[in-house]
Amino acid sequence: MVSIVINLSQHCRAISILGFSEKKLIIILVSIIVALSIGIGTWFVVEANFAHEPTKGEVFVMNAGSLVRMFETTIGPSFQKDTGYIYLGEGKGSVQLANMIIDKQRYPDVFVSAGTIPVMKLINNNPPLARWLVKFASAEMVIAYTSKSPFFSDLERAGRGEIPWYEVLSEDGLKFRRTDPELDPKGYYMVMVAQLANIYYNDSTIRDRTLGQDRNPAQLLPEESLLTTLEQGQIDAAASYKHEAVARGLPYITLPKEINLSDPKFSNYYNQASYDLGKREIVNGGTIDFSITIPETSKNIDGSIAFVKFLLSEKGTKIIEKYGLDSIKAVGQGDIEKMPSEIKELLGYI
């Protein structure tokens, strides 16, 4: 067994390789070196744990940064063990990932996004870099916090509903952080939560008191390091999806369904909020649905299909539910005719 752990600042790559021939080990080590050289983010090759040596090649999955813990520790290893493909993943903010694909900085086999807007950027590109997407899970916005915070007592009281969560976040000295809404859907979802809070609590000051400007530089951190910074106690609280807090064992404040973007029954209410991404692209409030596609950049179409099928399978669904995501009936969107027949059949379209 050969295990390698490389730590570079906040960007951690963990590689564990087991049971490979010397030739395959050399190939994978070269792949890792290449991966480390082409940009920052969270890159990982999961532990290889096959009964036989893999022969099907790599599947490069770019996924929302909020899914990194789930994909690195469970989804990736399970997919790799069950199928014989080598799993290679990278996680960042979904809008940033979509831009990297459009700018030809990355050529993934699979793209898993928070929300549908990042995938639609690929679909609407000229020429199209994706043709379809499948919505497979929904998420919920929460306020995660740490027991290391000097404001822990007040955050706990807010979690119990004894004091308003927005009053705690407005306290002098409390360090609340979130992601950049221009790069990560969670960033603009938090802006929408604050907009809806103004309406729900009939208090037009909540957004300004808790966030300041939409892109307040004092609050913004990269998606891939936000919750790690929270875990380390460098900040007090952070905008988070519920499944991220669950995966990391962080305490969190549950927000009312009218503002947490999780319940389809409140879709019309959520639609009162919006965020302007620029270039005539307005994101309207709605439920947070995670989506998956196989971009036109895929170099391993069979492996890509295998990953989508695994994620949508009963086993994949149980994993995402374990990590706090809510599974939904998988629904296709876009040019369904261009969707691989195996996936169409899985969704009941043929």
Instruction: Give me the tens of pLDDT residue by residue for the chain, a chain 350 residues long.
Output: 333 333 333 333 333 333 444 444 444 444 444 444 344 445 555 544 444 454 689 999 999 999 999 999 999 999 999 999 999 999 999 999 999 999 999 999 999 999 999 999 999 999 999 999 999 999 999 999 999 999 999 999 999 999 999 999 999 999 999 999 999 999 999 999 999 999 999 999 999 999 999 999 999 999 989 999 999 999 999 999 999 999 899 999 999 999 999 999 999 999 999 999 887 789 999 999 999 999 999 999 999 999 999 999 999 999 999 998 999 999 999 999 999 999 999 999 98
Are the C-beta atoms of 62 and 98 separated by less than 8 Å? no
- Alpha carbons 259 and 79: distance in angstroms, whole number: 35
Given this model, what pLDDT does residue 278 score? 81
Cα 36 from chain centre: 21
Instruction: Retrieve residue 121's tokens.
Output: 């950027």
- Alpha carbons 35 and 157: distance in angstroms, whole number: 44
- Alpha carbons 305 and 308: distance in angstroms, whole number: 5
The region that residue 6 occupies, defined by phi over 0 for left and psi between -120 and 50 for alpha, beta otherwise, is beta
Instruction: Retrieve residue 240's tokens.
Output: 């988070």
Given this model, what pLDDT does residue 15 score? 35
Given this model, what pLDDT does residue 53 score? 52
The CA distances from residue 293 to 36, 179, 218, 341, in Å, are 25, 24, 34, 14
Given this model, what pLDDT does residue 280 score? 78
Q: Which residues pair with 89 in a beta bridge?
A: 44, 61
- Alpha carbons 223 and 187: distance in angstroms, whole number: 9
- Total-model pTM: 0.82
Torsion sign (Cα): 158, 162, 165, 167: negative
